[in-house]
Copies of this chain bind each other. A is one copy, B any other.
Amino acid sequence: MLPTAKIVNDPVHGFIRLPEGRVMAALSHPIVQRLRRLSQLGLAQFIYPGATHTRFAHALGVLHLADEALLSLQGKGISLSQETWEAVLLAALLHDIGHGPFSHSLEGSLLPISHEVVGTQLLQLLAKDIGDLSEVESLWKGTHSHPFLCELIAGQVDVDRLDYLVRDSFFTGVQEGLVGTERLIYTLSVAEQKLAIEEKGQTSVEKFIVTRRFMYWQVYLHKGVLGAEWLLRRWWEALQRAEEKPPLLRRLQDDAVAGESLEAFLQIDEATVWSWIQESTEARFPPLRALSRALLWRIPYKIHYVEEASQMAKKKEEWLGKFPSAAQPWVEWFWVEGTAENEAYKPTEGEDIYILTKEGKVCPLAERAPWLRGLSGPMKRFFVGGIPSASLESLLR
């Protein structure tokens, strides 16, 4: 356990200890402070008004769970050097620094690379200010000499998932998402260099998996949330088509060609995007104008799930019928269709959650809890949706 520098009040986990040393340095760095201006759930707050929590608060939560997990493992005789302890906390705290604004909707839109790649580049930038971070990188990449620490940071039951499930549940008010993180952390262990859950924690881990499924349908793939996220995606597309783009966005895209875009990227947070939305309410390109207003006035696509792909065309036709003539030329902008998918649990050969029995055997969860197989394999649903025609006139005015 590292010496405590500061204590922060977190509504989800209570008090969070922040250790002295490089964790504090990283936390104060502009690259991390920027996470205060990125929301965890983007436009899900259109449906769940309490869900305005940030990636910054999530990062603190992940740090906290990692610290608790190491404490618990220490109590079981698994001790680490101070350096490695600090590296694990940094790996937890920094795991999301590569995200841009509204990642659920716009991932890959600002920069043509994944948030993991951006993250690794930002880690190198950060290392210039706070010193070598190669152990953190090895934890992210899965090449650390203690593989179980890599799993703790990114695995089937990692501190990232544990925090976001319970945090998203807390802020949305969806009680179905509450997971006993405390118990799961208490029952973590290591067997054959793999992270394993002690037998007495099996129910907790089963509950964790079921909960993921519930949160998918109640929050992440909720029809209203989907409708809001698509609004943002389509607005972004419209913005690309517009003649006048925000100068910062142009700079980002020009720099990206030159391979030097990180600096502009770091200046674009969700406030920036909202200010672009605000500015484009009077744009000349009608879809851009309409979609900007729909975002500010909260008029998401009205989404329906359909049983088979074949029903999509019929739904669209119905919807087109009610359409005001002024909107006809832009009809494709006010309609979305696609598939929503989730997979709560995905056990494969050598890639399951492992249970450590009292006798010291390591068993894959899929074997010990066969009923969970009902949850494995992806669930897939087709959806369609449009902007309510009654609103279109004022949106296009």
Instruction: Tell me the minimal C-beta distance from A22 to chain B in angstroms.
Output: 17
Residue numbers of A with Cβ under 8 A of B are: 3-4, 7-12, 14-15, 28, 30, 33-34, 36-37, 39, 45, 48-50, 52-54, 56-57, 60, 75, 170-176, 178-180, 182-183, 186, 203-204, 206-207, 210, 214, 217-218, 267, 269-272, 274-275, 278, 296-298, 370-375
Please, which residues of chain B bring their CB within 8 A of the CB of A33? 296-298
Report how far A370 CA is from B175 CA in the complex, Å.
23
Which listed residue, B4, B9, B176, touches A173 by the CB 8 Å rule?
A: B9
Report how far A28 CA is from B171 CA in the complex, Å.
22
Number of copies: 4
Which listed residue, B48, B49, B54, B272, touches A49 by the CB 8 Å rule?
A: B54
Contact assessment for A28 and B298 in the assembled complex, using a CB-CB cutoff below 8 Å: yes
Among residues of B, the one whose C-beta sits closest to the C-beta of A29 is: B297
| Chain A facing B: main interface SS | helix
Q: Which 9 A-B pairs have the closest CB atoms?
A: A271-B274, A371-B374, A275-B275, A374-B374, A11-B173, A9-B173, A11-B50, A271-B271, A175-B180
Instruction: Tell me the minimal C-beta distance from A250 to chain B in angstroms.
Output: 15
Which listed residue, B39, B204, B371, B373, touches A176 by the CB 8 Å rule?
A: B204
Which listed residue, B45, B176, B204, B267, touches A278 by the CB 8 Å rule?
A: B267
Among residues of B, the one whose C-beta sits closest to the C-beta of A371 is: B374
Among residues of B, the one whose C-beta sits closest to the C-beta of A40 is: B52
Report how far A9 CA is from B186 CA in the complex, Å.
12
Instruction: Tell me the minimal C-beta distance from A28 to chain B in angstroms.
Output: 7
Which listed residue, B4, B34, B278, touches A271 by the CB 8 Å rule?
A: B278
Which listed residue, B54, B175, B182, B207, touches A52 by the CB 8 Å rule?
A: B54
Report how far A206 CA is from B28 CA in the complex, Å.
32
